[in-house]
């Protein structure tokens, strides 16, 4: 960890305020970063390497909406074969750099029947169905407690802020619960019925490990899902990764404006929202 932080700190000229994880098909947002410093994962000591198509695999550090950010262009997934400690290592790096805000985006399948392809959903809670937890093992007391509270895993202040930004921009957004599964196979229709019954609005194969570790380290988290497809069995159509990428691309412009607006507000330090 020390080596990793030194490697990054030696090269950055700014102090990032927000950590941003860009999911499937959304990585291009990192291209808008001004004065960017690109650090390919493969060059960063102790970093895992991303293997999924559509994920570039680098940190991009610079400014978005004039706010210093550290962006993960491409993330790591459990189904790639890494353990959850590896997957969440970048969150620890963010914490080591003093970053207090995390924005995570992902592609997800829509379970809530009032959603449709292209719905943008703010995550207001999650259900961890990965069967494991990134905090298993010796507790890193310098980051947080053995048994961290998860009552507000997704900051209600950031949710309000995001809703206000969306309203101003006239972008329709929804709110809901994200269920995390391991993948890589998509769910069966029976599994989707089960997930709906237990209260999930969307399902995906990422985000939850990072959010658990972010909460352990007292970061404020905002999670945004792009509903790239309705989940298995909802329409009867078969699911493909190509469809996921295509929808993500269609939603990108709205998501881009939304994210820039949110980042700007967080950067200003919105006193009324308590941020």
CB of 257 to ligand HPA, least distance (A): 22
Q: Which is nearer to ligand HPA, 165 or 179 (CB)?
A: 179
Which residue number is nearest to ligand HPA in terms of Cβ?
A: 109
Q: Which residue in 44, 87, 122, 203 binds ligand HPA (CB under 6 A)? A: 203
Contacting residue, 107, 122, 200, 208, with ligand HPA by CB under 6 A: 107
| 109 makes contact with ligand HPA (CB under 6 A) | yes
Please confirm, yes or no, whether 229 is among the known catalytic residues. yes
Give 109 or 134: the residue with its C-beta nearer to ligand HPA: 109
Q: How far is the CB of 38 from ligand HPA (least distance, A)?
A: 26
Of 121, 232, 234, nearest to 178 by C-alpha is 121
* Cα within 13 Å of Cα(169), Cβ side: 19
Smallest CA-to-CA distance from 124 within 94, 163, 92, 70 is with 163
Give catalytic status of residue 186 as yes or no.
no
Catalytic annotation present for 107: yes
How far is Cα 213 from Cα 107, in angstroms, rounded to an integer? Answer: 20
Q: Which of 109, 116, 241 is nearest to 178 (CA)?
A: 109
Binding mask 231-270 for ligand HPA (x = CB under 6 A): x-------x----x--------------------------
Please report how the helices 156-169 and 241-268 are oriented relative to each other, as an axis angle in degrees rounded to 10: 100
Numbers of helices and strands, H then E, in the chain: 6, 9
Q: If you ran DSSP here, which 8-state letter would residue 98 be given?
A: T
187 binds ligand HPA (CB under 6 A): yes
Helical pair 2-11 and 84-96, crossing angle rounded to 10 deg? 50
205 scored as a contact of ligand HPA (CB under 6 A): yes
Catalytically active residues, by annotation: 24, 55, 77, 79-80, 107, 205-206, 229, 241
Interface contacts to ligand HPA, rule CB under 6 A: 107-109, 186-187, 203-205, 228-229, 231, 239, 244
């Amino acid at each position: 960890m020390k080596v990793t932080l030194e490697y990054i700190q030696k090269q950055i000229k700014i102090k990032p305020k927000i950590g941003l994880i860009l999911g499937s098909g959304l990585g291009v947002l990192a291209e808008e970063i001004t004065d960017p410093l690109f650090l390919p994962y493969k060059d960063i000591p102790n970093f895992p390497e991303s293997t999924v198509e559509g994920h570039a695999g680098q940190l991009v550090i610079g400014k978005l909406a004039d706010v210093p950010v550290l962006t993960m262009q491409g993330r790591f997934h459990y189904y790639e074969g890494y353990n959850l400690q590896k997957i969440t290592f970048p969150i620890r790096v963010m914490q080591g750099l003093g970053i207090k805000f995390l924005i995570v985006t992902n592609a997800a399948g829509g379970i809530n029947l009032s959603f449709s392809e292209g719905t943008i959903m703010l995550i207001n809670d999650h259900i961890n169905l990965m069967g494991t937890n990134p905090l298993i093992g010796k507790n890193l007391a310098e980051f947080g407690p053995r048994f961290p509270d998860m009552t507000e895993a997704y900051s209600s202040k950031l949710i309000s802020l995001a809703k206000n930004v969306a309203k101003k921009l006239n972008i329709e957004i929804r709110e809901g619960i994200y269920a995390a599964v391991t993948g890589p196979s998509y769910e069966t229709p029976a599994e989707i019925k089960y997930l709906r019954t237990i209260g999930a609005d969307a399902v995906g194969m990422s985000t939850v490990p990072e959010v658990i570790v972010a909460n352990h380290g007292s970061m404020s988290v905002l999670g945004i899902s792009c509903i790239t497809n309705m989940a298995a069995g909802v329409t009867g159509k078969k699911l493909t990764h190509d469809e996921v990428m295509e929808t993500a691309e269609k939603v990108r412009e709205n998501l881009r404006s939304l994210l820039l607006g949110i980042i700007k507000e967080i950067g200003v330090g919105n006193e009324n929202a308590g941020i």
